[in-house]
């Protein structure tokens, strides 16, 4: 268990806070570690007092190891259904008109850990989202150089990351209409600096209004296809039911569609868990898809009554919109909530809209808070530990990643069975005679 300086400040030395406490950061990076390698880092809620998320505190999501791309070896290739297949260097790209825009990058899995029943996957809470200024070139200006053929319907993006074991390469298509939208860009800068390795150096897709699985990093190739790509990351992952289903439903793959638009959503940055009695300004950010946020309501009584929050001036089309609400906080326990509405009339639901892979969580999440004179944080439960794991687990499951991915899950035996099948498909080695013991351990230790 690590206690950061920020935790100590919050706790005033009085209470002990565990690593998994809401929004508390691991010591060191100031980020919450979902997995150290592949690198998955979450931004603590307190950082969302900023409308622009600083790059050092921007969440990171990598399905595999982060590649170190050298600009000298790099070019962007464009192939498939174009008249003039070829490539561009960074110098060529920089000759095209330069565009800059704020846009929210949110992982489709953000908030997955709040769904009931639980499902496997990175157990994000609030912070796999951020807003940056992206600078680069319009994708349509790039495509114009190669001249799309009329049969070209989908753009397949491939990055320089390489899969681990027998896992499939992370490749994704977007429909050509989204690619030709003047707001879709290929960015070489984030917050005024060249992209960092983690965020996709030297070039990434920016598909504003869409979940970030389409924002392919380390982009090196665009293949123009006449069909949606049929690889794992398009046809199995990042799909959700076309219609809402009751929690726990098994959905036929033919009734699933790719995740595209983000949901309208808001996040309270401060206060978090504790506040002193008196005047408290509840602050946070709200975001949406191509339809901008028009209203944020805040509740201090767990959703019984709502108050219109004050919105930040000068909204951008795809960026965060700040909100605040001044509250005379009496001593005691309270539950804060925020609920955003967009111009299209979409409102954050109070009940989560469950789906089998746990995507696009946007329920107005209750945020319990203690208002008291001396600082304290809610006691929180830490993840079960894999320290006493049997040899079969250590041999089969700790070669590609450490315990983080496993100990954050809360799954039934049947779900663990499917998860072990997924991992053996990627190259984990579990002998037939050891499988029952492995499942017994996983299902007993990391259970719902």
Q: Which residues bind Mo ion (CB under 5 A)?
A: 61, 107, 213
Neighbours of 414 (CB within 10 A): 10
CA 123 to chain centre: 10
Measured between alpha carbons, how far is 177 from 180 in angstroms, rounded to an integer?
Answer: 5
Q: Which is nearer to ligand HEC, 64 or 324 (CB)?
A: 64
Measured between alpha carbons, how far is 360 from 127 in angstroms, rounded to an integer?
Answer: 13
Q: Does 60 bind ligand MTE (CB under 6 A)?
A: yes
DSSP reduced 3-state for 260:
coil
Q: Does 360 bind ligand MTE (CB under 6 A)?
A: no
What mask of x and - would describe binding to ligand HEC in positions 130 to 169, judged by CB under 6 A?
A: ----------------------------------xx-x--
Measured between alpha carbons, how far is 266 from 126 in angstroms, rounded to an integer?
Answer: 10
Q: Does 410 bind ligand MTE (CB under 6 A)?
A: no
117 upstream amide cis, omega within 30 of 0: yes
* In the complex, least distance from residue 112 CB atom to ligand HEC, rounded to whole angstroms: 10
Q: Does 401 bind ligand HEC (CB under 6 A)?
A: yes
Q: Does 441 bind ligand HEC (CB under 6 A)?
A: no
Task: Write down the residue that tokens 């315990």 correspond to.
Answer: 403
Q: Which is nearer to ligand MTE, 64 or 342 (CB)?
A: 64
Q: Which is nearer to ligand HEC, 66 or 348 (CB)?
A: 66
Tell which positions 51-80 bind ligand HEC, by CB under 6 A.
63-64
Closest CA to 257 of 275, 271, 245, 270: 245
Region from 107-115, 176-184, 195-203, 424-432 binding ligand HEC, contact rule CB under 6 A: 424-432
Measured between alpha carbons, how far is 136 from 203 in angstroms, rounded to an integer?
Answer: 8
Q: Which is nearer to ligand MTE, 66 or 299 (CB)?
A: 66
User: Which tokens hold the place of 299?
Assistant: 């509740």
By CB atoms closer than 10 A (0-12, 13-18, 19+), residue 294 is: middle
**240: enclosing H helix or E strand:** strand 239-241
Q: Which is nearer to Mo ion, 137 or 360 (CB)?
A: 360
What are the CA-CA distances from residue 126 to residues 181, 214, 288, 312, 337 (Å)?
29, 20, 15, 21, 13
Q: Does 48 bind ligand MTE (CB under 6 A)?
A: no
Of all residues in the chain, what percent are helix, strand and coil, respectively (each to 5)? 20, 30, 50
From the list ligand HEC, ligand MTE, Mo ion, none, partner contacted by residue 121 (C-beta under 5 to 8 A by kind): ligand HEC
Closest CA to 360 of 290, 262, 289: 262
Q: Does 446 bind ligand MTE (CB under 6 A)?
A: no
Q: Does 161 bind ligand MTE (CB under 6 A)?
A: yes
Region from 53-61, 284-292, 331-339, 402-410 binding ligand MTE, contact rule CB under 6 A: 53-61
Q: Considering only residues 323, 355, 420, 441, which one is a binding residue for ligand HEC as defined by CB under 6 A?
A: 420
Q: Does 110 bind ligand HEC (CB under 6 A)?
A: no
Measured between alpha carbons, how far is 175 from 429 in angstroms, rounded to an integer?
Answer: 38
Q: Which is nearer to ligand HEC, 149 or 422 (CB)?
A: 422
Contact 175, 153 (CB under 8 A): yes
Q: Considering only residues 121, 159, 284, 312, which one is a binding residue for ligand HEC as defined by CB under 6 A?
A: 121
Q: Does 309 bind ligand MTE (CB under 6 A)?
A: no
From the list ligand HEC, ligand MTE, Mo ion, none, partner contacted by residue 427 (C-beta under 5 to 8 A by kind): ligand HEC
Q: Considering only residues 151, 248, 399, 425, which one is a binding residue for ligand HEC as defined by CB under 6 A?
A: 399
Residues found near ligand HEC in the complex (CB under 6 A): 38, 63-64, 120-121, 164-165, 167, 396-397, 399-401, 405-406, 409, 419-420, 422-423, 426-428, 430
């Amino acid at each position: 268990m690590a206690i950061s300086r920020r935790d100590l400040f919050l706790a005033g030395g009085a209470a002990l806070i565990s690593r998994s406490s809401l929004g508390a950061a691991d010591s060191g990076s100031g980020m919450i570690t979902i997995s150290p390698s592949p690198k998955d880092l979450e931004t603590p809620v307190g950082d969302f007092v900023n409308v622009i998320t600083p790059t050092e505190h921007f969440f990171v999501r990598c399905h595999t190891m982060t590649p170190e791309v050298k600009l000298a070896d790099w070019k962007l290739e464009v192939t498939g259904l174009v008249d003039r297949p070829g490539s561009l260097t960074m110098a060529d790209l920089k000759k095209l008109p330069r565009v800059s825009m704020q846009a929210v990058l949110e992982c489709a899995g953000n908030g997955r850990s709040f769904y009931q029943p639980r499902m496997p996957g990175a157990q994000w809470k609030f912070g796999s989202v951020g807003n940056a200024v992206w600078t680069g070139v319009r994708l349509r200006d790039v495509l114009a150089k190669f001249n799309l053929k009329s049969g070209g319907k989908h753009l397949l993006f491939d990055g320089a990351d390489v899969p681990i074991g027998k896992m499939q390469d992370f490749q994704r298509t977007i429909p050509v209409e989204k690619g030709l939208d003047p707001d879709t860009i290929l960015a070489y800068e984030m917050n005024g600096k060249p992209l960092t390795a983690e965020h996709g150096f030297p070039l990434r897709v920016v598909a504003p209004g869409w979940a970030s699985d389409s924002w392919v990093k380390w982009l090196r190739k665009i293949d123009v296809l006449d069909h949606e790509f049929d690889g794992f990351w398009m046809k199995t992952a990042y799909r959700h039911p076309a219609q809402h289903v009751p929690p726990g439903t098994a959905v036929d793959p033919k009734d699933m569609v790719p995740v595209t638009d983000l949901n309208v959503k808001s996040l309270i940055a401060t206060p978090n868990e504790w506040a002193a009695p008196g005047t408290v300004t509840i602050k946070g950010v709200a975001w949406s898809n191509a339809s901008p946020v028009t209203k944020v309501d805040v509740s201090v009584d767990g959703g019984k009554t709502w108050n219109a929050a004050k919105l930040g001036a000068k909204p951008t089309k795809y960026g965060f919109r700040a909100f605040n609400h001044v509250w005379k906080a009496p001593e005691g326990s309270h539950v804060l909530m925020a609920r955003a509405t967009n111009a299209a009339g979409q409102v954050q639901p109070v009940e989560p809209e469950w789906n089998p892979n746990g995507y696009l969580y946007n329920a107005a999440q209750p945020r319990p808070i203690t208002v008291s004179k001396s600082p304290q944080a809610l006691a929180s439960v830490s993840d079960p530990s894999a320290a006493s794991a049997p040899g079969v687990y250590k041999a089969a499951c700790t070669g590609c990643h450490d315990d983080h991915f496993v100990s954050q899950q809360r799954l039934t035996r049947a779900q663990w069975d499917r998860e072990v099948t997924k991992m053996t498909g990627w190259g984990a080695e579990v002998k037939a005679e050891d499988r029952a013991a492995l499942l017994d351990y996983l299902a007993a230790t990391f259970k719902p």
